[in-house]
Amino acid sequence: MSARWTSAVLDPDVAGGLAVARGPDGFLLDDNGVLFPREWLKRQDLDILCEHGIGHFEGEPVFLLELRSAAEVSGCGWRGLRQFMLEGDFDIYKLLGYAAQIGTWAREHRFCGSCGQAMTQIHWERAMHCASCDLRSYPRISPSMIVLVTRGDEILLARSPRFVTGVYSTLAGFAEPGESAEDCLVREVREEVAVEVKNIQYVGSQCWPFPHSMMLGFHAEYAGGEIVMQPDEIEDAQWFNVHALPPLPAGRSIARRLIDLYVARRLGLAEPVLPG
């Protein structure tokens, strides 16, 4: 992690520090950013669902106020997490990405998934506890494989109906129980475009807090098959030459890094570095 932002479990019963507020419309911010004096923020008319200590930013303790609903705070507005990913301070985005995952987990684990009783927040570890059946629930991380399939100077890109108009990206999907990362990759490529791959190589990973994924990035070579698009999942899929690429995903995404890395190597350019 960056030296500016480090995650940690902090006791919300301790006073002081900074805080971020997250509601249905994203994070609260003003002209100075998203980090507010915690005690000031808690004096505002906010409908707080829960509070979690999430770590330190530049040495200052930081807490998350997870809200039931949005609120009007004088001089402030709301901004979604994806906007922070696309622009501005990447360390702030990492802090907010972590906060979003903790907020989602806390919201979804207020009641026990085994017996239905209300759960209690444990202050010394990142867990919710059910006193009735002794179940402990920890933040969920969902592994997802993302892969760039290549064929010489061509790369296989596709677009989902959910993408921004015109943008093409790499193939991706969530791991199923019992699968290895490589098994998942082969299955997802086969399902989405009916193509077989070989020579699978791990490239890197990226936290993807939308809402709680860990993206494991791979490169694989084309081994055979013609493109057949999966109905309802893939709107279009094509082989693109590295000299004539379509609009691509955001530069801070691992999808874009997989593409840029292969293009750079193919053209003899300097290799890009994913923000970390």
Q: What is the pLDDT of residues 172-190, one digit of tens each?
A: 999 999 999 999 999 999 9
Range of the domain at 209: 142-267
| 18 and 103 belong to one structural domain | yes
| 165 and 233 belong to one structural domain | yes
CATH assignment of the domain containing 35: 3.90.79.20
The pLDDT value recorded for residue 272 is 85
Taking the model in full, what pTM does it have?
Answer: 0.92
Indicate whether 223 pLDDT > 80: yes
Q: What is the mean pLDDT of residues 202-211?
A: 95
Nearest alpha carbon to residue 250 among 85, 67, 108: 85
| 90 and 166 belong to one structural domain | no
The pLDDT value recorded for residue 274 is 66
Query: What is the maximum alpha-carbon separation in the chain?
Result: 62
The pLDDT value recorded for residue 251 is 87
Cβ neighbours of residue 165 closer than 8 Å, sequence gap 6 or more: none
CA distance 232 to 184: 20
Task: Please give the share of the chain, as a percent, with pLDDT higher than 90.
Answer: 93
Nearest alpha carbon to residue 155 among 174, 173, 168, 172: 168
Indicate whether 64 pLDDT > 50: yes
Query: Does the residue 233 lie in any domain?
Result: yes
| 200 and 89 belong to one structural domain | no
